[in-house]
Amino acid sequence: MALVTLATLFDPIEAEVMRSALAAGGIESILFDNNIASLIGSGLSGVRLMVLDEDAAAARALLGEAATRG
């Protein structure tokens, strides 16, 4: 069960919104480096949205659909 980076975001709020959208679609994800970004500034250190390798395609599809609805 390997984790892969789905996206690197420089806005922690956007990262949390994307994580929440995945959770609503039944896909577990985790935010890496969120605390570092809040300490040194989100513009300097991105937040990595990570999912299981086997969920990556479904996660990309779900987020793509969410982007077209928003």
pLDDT tens string, the chain, 70 residues long: the values are 799 999 998 888 899 999 999 999 999 999 998 766 555 555 566 889 999 999 999 999 999 876 545 4
Measured CA to CA, the distance from residue 20 to residue 38 in angstroms comes to: 19
| C-alpha torsion 14→54→35→33, nearest 10 | -100
- Cα 37-50-18 angle, rounded to 5 deg: 75
Which pLDDT score, from 0 to 100, does residue 1 have?
Answer: 78
SS3 12: helix
Cα–Cα dist 31/44, whole Å:
16
pLDDT given for residue 39 in this prediction: 57
The encoded tokens of residue 33 equal: 């480096």
The total number of structural domains that make up the chain: 1
What range does the domain containing 60 cover? 3-69
| pLDDT of 33 | 84
